[in-house]
Structure 1
Amino acid sequence: MRKLLSLWFIVLLAGCSTKPSHVGEPIKTKEGDEFSIQNTEQGFTVAGHYSEYQFVRSSHDGFVGCTQLINNAAKDYAAKSGQSVSLPKWEDVTIVDHGRDIITAIMNVNCEYTYQY
């Protein structure tokens, strides 16, 4: 019974955290979040891995934070190539997965969006 309970606890913890989901070479921000960029025919895709401490769980806050991360990366990337892009709201961004570690209360969100020039 004890082994079964230990195994269940490990599976529960593993299911609460997500690993980064990237489309290219990961770039770390000074806050410790990550994003990656991949060119497409008419623009580019940005994938982000965003983390934040949440005493009280709020998926919405995590989704908004991940959207801000990839929008900032997209804005900078487009500006470097002399282009501009429309920035989506969090409702339009694809949330690849998300989870919250029950021990550390860190929420991790993986999100992605394809920007058009």
Structure 2
Amino acid sequence: MIPDKMLQVLKCEGVVAVVTMGDNSPHVVNTWNSYLSITQDDQLLIPVGGMIQTEANVEKNPDIQITVGSREVDGFHGPGTGFLIKGSATFLRSGDLFDLVKARFPWIRATLNIKVNSATQTL
């Protein structure tokens, strides 16, 4: 389900936007491409230090959207491409997936786990 070009993007540094829905408006936080991990069954794992409002929003509504991109990977019209990923999110505080992310990022308080429903190239 994860396109090969998106895997190329994640090997380059770039900003990731994580969007959840609050009570009255969308809420956006950022992280880095290099922080994302992908499981064998195409789930995304993101280390969580803060993301307090993001977590509160996910508890009420697990729908999540993220964007990833890089100028280093060719897109539809030349240098640079990006993806919109839609999925369902949970916050993990224990278990194998949490431990996997904690080994790379000892500072985390949780792991944001996203089950990908779609990954669409936008650029």
Decide which structure has the larger Cα Rg and report it: 1
TM-score bracket for the superposition, by shorter chain length = 0.3 to 0.5
Calculate the TM-score normalised by the size of structure 1: 0.34
Structure with higher strand content: 2
Calculate the TM-score normalised by the size of structure 2: 0.33
